[in-house]
Structure 1
Amino acid sequence: MTTLTDEAVRPATHAKVRILATADRLFYTEGVHTVGVDRIISESKVTKATFYKYYRSKDALIVVYLQGRDRRARELLAELERRFDTPEQRLRGVVAEISAQVIREGFHGCPFINAAAQFTDPTHPVRQAVAAHRDWYGRSVEDLFRGMGHARPGDASDDFFLARDGAFAGANLGDPIGAHTALIRAVQRVLDESSD
């Protein structure tokens, strides 16, 4: 049983968690290069020493931010796998989630594409985190198309990602409804190929 004394001693949220939550919000809404360490420290209500205790640099924090976003995507696919019986239902679930994201208030595009645009060196840890996410995601979508019996699951996955990335960019540039409907049409065309 938690006592009043325990609650008074334990911080509401651990500093490391607060830093990451603050960074996640600011990096996504304003961009990873735009937001400085001092602002993250201030809004997290931690000291500079505490920040550097948990994150040795801003770039290290950006990598952890992207790994957190990657983990959420993996959890979503795992949830869709539990919820739906067939690969097509799971893929449609992915498309439904993307569609919901692009029309959601506060949508600012794909966090991975946004971060990659700000780091040009493919060997940089941020770009490696982006690549790891996209490699996993691409393999997962290709497996869904393969499970549907698509004749060219790799090509279908490539087409899916072109449509997905385009929807994220189009919605971020100001036409979320157009992006949503174009995504649905494009994915349906790829799905129709699997029944040809």
Structure 2
Amino acid sequence: MIPTAVAPRPPAPAKLKILEVADRLFYNEGIHTVGVDRIINEAHVTKATFYKHYRSKDLLIVAYVEGRHLRAKYLIDEARANLTDPAAVMRALATLIGQIATRPGFHGCPFINAAAQFSDAAHPVRQAVSRHRAWERALIVDVVAELGHPAPEDAVDDLVLFRDGALSGSNVGDPERAYRALARAVERIIAERSAGAGEQLLSA
């Protein structure tokens, strides 16, 4: 008899509630300013329940970062759905960043914010942030490769920096101006692709 696959059990409601509360508090108020007791009180769980599902605050923070990664992946997949032109994908991603940065309650990039609170690059939270950023960079590498940019590594470095700058600038300044600056940077990179293709034709 071939064994049948067993569907994974869904997370316990208490575990989901703890993470939901932690996600809100960590993002709105800062990771280090929110204690475990506050999370337990607002999630309406016992201390034993908390430590059953999350053995430490650090593990909860990692779960928070990983949850934000899944949310970002969903939004990016949705933004680029049915788009095949890499230039259109780049514009769609820039628009998504603009939409996120202008939403009420925006307090900056959750990954940059989390990394800023853990100085040790080997800390599990920093590693979770690094995994997200490696995934994001790989996505940008793929788009730039499809774009046919004449200096793809430079273009990827620029795009990552523009993305970080737009989100950080939106948090401390004018979100609309930060988005427009990002959009202009994206258009410059797209235009560099076109210019590079023209130079190749002239030299052929």
* Structures share fold, TM-score greater than 0.5: yes
Deviates more, 1:167-176 or 1:52-61: 167-176
| 2:142 maps to 1:143 | yes
Instruction: Identify unmatched segments of 5+ residues in structure 2.
Output: 1-11, 196-204
Aligned partners of 2:182 and 2:168: how far apart in 1?
11
Aligned residue in 1 for 2:90:
91
Note if contact 1:143-1:153 (Cα within 8 Å) is conserved in structure 2: no
Note if contact 2:80-2:92 (Cα within 8 Å) is conserved in structure 1: no
Aligned partners of 1:69 and 1:107: how far apart in 2?
14
Structure 2 matches for 1:1-150, cutoff 5 A? 14-150=13-149
Q: Which runs of structure 1 show a deviation greater than 6 angstroms over 4 or more consecutive aligned residues?
A: none
Aligned partners of 1:177 and 1:78: how far apart in 2?
23
Instruction: Identify unmatched segments of 5+ residues in structure 1.
Output: 1-12
Note if contact 2:17-2:43 (Cα within 8 Å) is conserved in structure 1: yes
Match of 1:83, SS state, is: coil
Note if contact 2:90-2:186 (Cα within 8 Å) is conserved in structure 1: no
Percent of pairs with identical residues? 55
Describe the shift of the 1:179–1:73 C-alpha distance in structure 2 as closer, same or farther (beyond 3 A).
same
Cα deviation for residue 126 of structure 1 reads 0.4
Q: TM-score, normalised by structure 2?
A: 0.86
Q: Over residues 33-67 of structure 1, what are the superposed CA-to-partner deviations in whole Å (9 max), with x where a residue is unaligned?
A: 11111111111111111111111111101101111
| 2:174 maps to 1:179 | no
Aligned partners of 1:137 and 1:103: how far apart in 2?
21
- Equivalent residue letter for 1:77: I
Aligned residue in 2 for 1:191:
190
